[in-house]
Amino acid sequence: MFDSIYNSFDNFFIGFFIMLGVAIVAGLLFSFLISFKVKSTKRFFIISAIMPAVIAVVAAITSVSTTLGAVLAISGAFGLIRFRSAQGSSEEIGVLAIELAGGFTMGLGYLLPGVLVLVVLGLVFFLLYSFNIFSHKGGTTERVLRVTLPENLDYAHLFDEEFNQFTKTHQLVRTKSVNMGSMFRLEYEVELKNEDLEKPFLDAIRVKNGNLEVALSEATRIQGQL
């Protein structure tokens, strides 16, 4: 049951194609399962569906190759993915990590353990998101604050009073000039002391920025990053 499938056949390619089929099916089921809880694009779920099979192929080739150069080349190819991909959220990175573990296990020929890794960790992932076991009552809320300012305002310490009053932590993460350079758009990561403070916080910010555009949204991307 826990023996490598490559040992069951005289021809390596028979076991390889069986392994590849199992990895594709397991990847599809895993991607479908996590799509109920992870907020991402359709492209991400398509990639996550085939990723276990891709990793399994790499693991299979590596397991039968005795050439150090082949192993280093494959490792370098995976390293390039980090530099050619947009930075993902912590949920997306966690999903890819689970698929790496399951795909690599299946690629070595251990199909049942590899499928169990995807299924069990996928269910754990699903259950952790279904139950608010880490959401403590009275906890703070994380938000992304976007503020538009006229160019003549010095924004360095403009909102210090408001941040001290309404937030637990704050950090300026992006500054951008807009409207032909006549305005600035600032983006902050903020952690409110209480979710009921959203409207008073926005009202206080509007007083300082001359009632220009102010947006406060859930930190689905910035705060979700590792």
Considering only residues 218 and 137, tell me which one the structure prediction assigns the higher pLDDT: 218
Q: pLDDT (tens digit, 9 = 90+) per residue, 183-196? A: 999 999 898 888 78
The whole-angstrom separation of Cα 121 and Cα 125 is 6
In this prediction, residue 200 has a pLDDT band, given cuts at 50, 70 and 90, of very high
Residue 135 covered by a domain: no
Contacts of residue 200, defined as CB under 8 A and 6 or more positions apart, other chains included, come to 166
Residue 19 covered by a domain: yes
Residue 97 covered by a domain: yes
Looking at the structure, do residues 119 and 164 belong to the same domain, yes or no? no
Q: pLDDT (tens digit, 9 = 90+) per residue, 85-121? A: 555 567 777 888 888 888 888 888 889 988 998 888 8
Looking at the structure, do residues 64 and 167 belong to the same domain, yes or no? no
Residue 226 covered by a domain: no
Looking at the structure, do residues 40 and 65 belong to the same domain, yes or no? yes
pLDDT at 135: 60
> Where a domain ends, among 130, 165, 194?
130
Looking at the structure, do residues 84 and 119 belong to the same domain, yes or no? yes
pLDDT at 24: 93
Indicate the number of domains in the chain.
Answer: 2
> Where a domain ends, among 99, 130, 161?
130
Cα Rg of the chain, angstroms: 24
Q: Which candidate, 6, 54, 4, places its Cα nearest to that of 27?
A: 54
Q: Measure the CA dihedral 198/204/206/209, to 10°.
A: -130
Looking at the structure, do residues 118 and 145 belong to the same domain, yes or no? no
CATH code: domain of residue 194: 3.30.70.240
Looking at the structure, do residues 21 and 120 belong to the same domain, yes or no? yes
Domain that holds residue 185: 141-218
Looking at the structure, do residues 124 and 193 belong to the same domain, yes or no? no
Residue 224 covered by a domain: no
pLDDT at 224: 42
Looking at the structure, do residues 94 and 183 belong to the same domain, yes or no? no
Lowest mean pLDDT, pick from 19-33, 60-74, 160-174, 202-216:
60-74
Residue 173 covered by a domain: yes
> Token pair 């001359």 is at which residue?
210
Q: Which candidate, 175, 172, 195, 197, places its Cα nearest to that of 185?
A: 175
pLDDT at 225: 44
Residue 34 has pLDDT above 90, yes or no: no
In this prediction, residue 204 has a pLDDT band, given cuts at 50, 70 and 90, of very high
> Where a domain ends, among 130, 149, 178?
130
Tell me what percent of the residues of the chain surpass a pLDDT of 90. Answer: 19
Looking at the structure, do residues 113 and 195 belong to the same domain, yes or no? no
pLDDT at 151: 87
Q: Measure the CA dihedral 151/191/167/173, to 10°.
A: -20
Residue 121 sits at φ, ψ, to 5 deg, of -70, -35
Looking at the structure, do residues 155 and 80 belong to the same domain, yes or no? no
pLDDT at 86: 52
